[in-house]
């Protein structure tokens, strides 16, 4: 699977763009895709105008953040980054 934001994702339907995000993070959770690549896919969201891709990305990011809630050193740093 090649994930590139060099393509004009507007050529894909909202459902397809939502599925790209869902699939990338599902593969990352299954350790079949590097989280960096899944997170890189979200960089296109700055131009995303539809709700569903944003909702799925927020859900995936919330899951990642929740994995670090018990880490007393890392979680405060994540909280600071979220405020930026």
pLDDT digits (tens, 9 = 90+) for 48-78: 999 999 999 999 999 988 887 777 777 677 6
- pLDDT for position 73: 76
- pLDDT for position 10: 74
Q: How far apart are CA 25 and CA 71, in angstroms?
A: 21
Inter-residue long-range contacts of 61-65, CB under 8 Å, 24+ positions, other chains counted: 63/25, 63/29, 64/35
């Amino acid at each position: 699977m090649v994930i590139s934001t060099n393509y004009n994702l507007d050529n894909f339907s909202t459902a397809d763009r939502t599925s790209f995000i869902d699939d990338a993070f599902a593969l990352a959770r299954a350790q079949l895709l590097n989280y960096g690549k899944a997170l890189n896919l979200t960089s296109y969201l700055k131009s995303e105008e539809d709700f569903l891709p944003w909702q799925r990305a927020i859900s995936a990011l919330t899951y990642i953040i929740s994995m670090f809630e018990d880490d007393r050193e890392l979680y405060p740093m994540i909280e600071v980054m979220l405020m930026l």
